[in-house]
Amino acid sequence: MDTTAVARGTEGPITRDKAVKAAVAGIVGTIAFDLFGLIVMRQWDMPGLLGEKIGGGLVVGALAHYANGILLAVLFVAVAPLFAGALWVRAIQFFTLQTIFGVWLFMLPLMGAGALGLGMGMGLMVPVSALVRHWVFAVVVAFVYQRQAGG
């Protein structure tokens, strides 16, 4: 498989067109992230947790959650050329690193759940579910972006 052709649309600097396509992919990816959480985990927890922590309630938490999905998708498209493989493989690589450093070691401790979320008393369920949800997000972002980019 020609991985250069599969990753088409990510080469070169980030442009307005790429950012808009990435933003759309980020919204769709966040919807997939949430649906996976609802179906598998039986909870839509991120917006409520964010809203509680930033003091704005569910609506503000949902807006922050979706803005974060957009930002992460744009960042991924900007750095995707630094990773190897098909676009979905690059997405898995990037979002695995993002989950480790951005979620397990930054966000969860910041929200009072401890490193990896182990302070929540749920064992490995929190870090594993966070990683799997971000992989779902990653694959959907890569697929939606690639389809828009003509790949």
Residue ranges of domains in the chain: 10-148
Give the CA diameter of the chain.
48
Residue 67 has pLDDT above 60, yes or no: yes
Cα 150 from chain centre: 22
All residues at 6 or more sequence positions from 29 whose CB lies less than 8 Å from its CB, including other chains: 69, 73, 136, 137, 138, 140, 141, 144
In whole numbers, what is the pLDDT of the chain averaged over residues? 89
pTM, two decimal places: 0.88
Residue 2 has pLDDT above 50, yes or no: no
Select the more confidently predicted residue: 121 or 45: 121
pLDDT digits (tens, 9 = 90+) for 100-144: 999 999 988 988 889 998 988 888 988 999 999 999 999 999 999
Give me the mean pLDDT over the 50-62 stretch. Answer: 89
Least confident among 39-48, 56-65, 78-87, 122-131: 39-48
Confidence at 73, pLDDT banded by 50, 70, 90: very high
Residue 4 has pLDDT above 60, yes or no: no
Give me the mean pLDDT over the 93-100 stretch. Answer: 98
